[in-house]
Amino acid sequence: MEWVALASAVIGAVGTYAGGQAQKRQMESQAMMTRLQSQSQALQYRSDALGFQEEAVANLKNTRINLATLNARGASGNLDPYSGSLGNLMTVNLAEGLLDYDTAVSNYLMTRENIKMQREMAGFQAAIYMAAGDTAEMAANIQAGTQLASGGAAAWNAGAFSSTASTPSPYSGPHI
């Protein structure tokens, strides 16, 4: 009977240990998934940032084209393009173009910051998962050790390790 208690403790300890290892692997997988999701999100942000860069360049190009058009029309009518209502049109056009450019650049810069924050948050979350896995592993190892110790103590108290313990004979049948 004492051997049953010891065997039960060993089996329970092995199960507890395996459970702790499985929980650790699950947490490591969760950390890996968090990192992969972060990389995917960073790629999306990077795509957005490139779009904002293209928008900024397009705004400057359109502003340059509009200013050139105003200048050419003024010159074709023998007007000074830098004075009067034509000059005012150019000033307004330049101000609007630069505002659009500045907005696109600001969006680009904010998107780049979002990429950095996303990566930092994912790294932090992954570290939490890894720590949780290590804690689960350690707790399972301690619990497995406790189960082994309890089973060993129960077997000891039952006399499994004493020299007077009855050991079964390898052969108990009749002798021929």
Q: How far is CA 15 from CA 4, 140, 141, 153, 167, in A?
A: 16, 9, 10, 19, 28
Q: How far apart are CA 22 and CA 29, in angstroms?
A: 10
Domain extent listing, the chain: 21-155
DSSP 170: S
At residue 16, φ and ψ (nearest 5 deg) are: -65, -45
d(CA 57, CA 41): 25
Strands (E), the chain: none
- What whole-number percentage of the chain has pLDDT above 90? 34
Query: Which contacts qualify for 116-124: CB closer than 8 Å, 24 or more apart?
Result: 118/38, 118/41, 118/42, 118/45, 119/38, 119/42, 121/38, 122/34, 122/35, 122/37, 122/38, 123/35, 123/38
Residue given tokens 């050790």 in the structure block: 145
* Unique residue bearing structure tokens 């110790």: 149
Residue with the bigger pLDDT between 81 and 28: it is 28
Of the candidates 111, 94, 90, the one whose C-alpha atom is nearest the C-alpha of residue 47 is 111
Q: In the predicted model, is pLDDT for residue 167 greater than 60?
A: no
Read off the pLDDT of residues 72-101 as tens digits, 9 standing for 90 and up: 877 777 766 666 677 778 888 888 888 999
* pLDDT at residue 150, as a whole number: 87
What pLDDT score does 26 carry?
A: 94
- Rounded CA separation 20/26 (Å): 10
pTM: 0.62
Query: Using one digit for the tens of pLDDT, what is the confidence trace for 63-78?
Result: 888 888 887 877 777 7
Give the percent of the chain with pLDDT over 70.
86
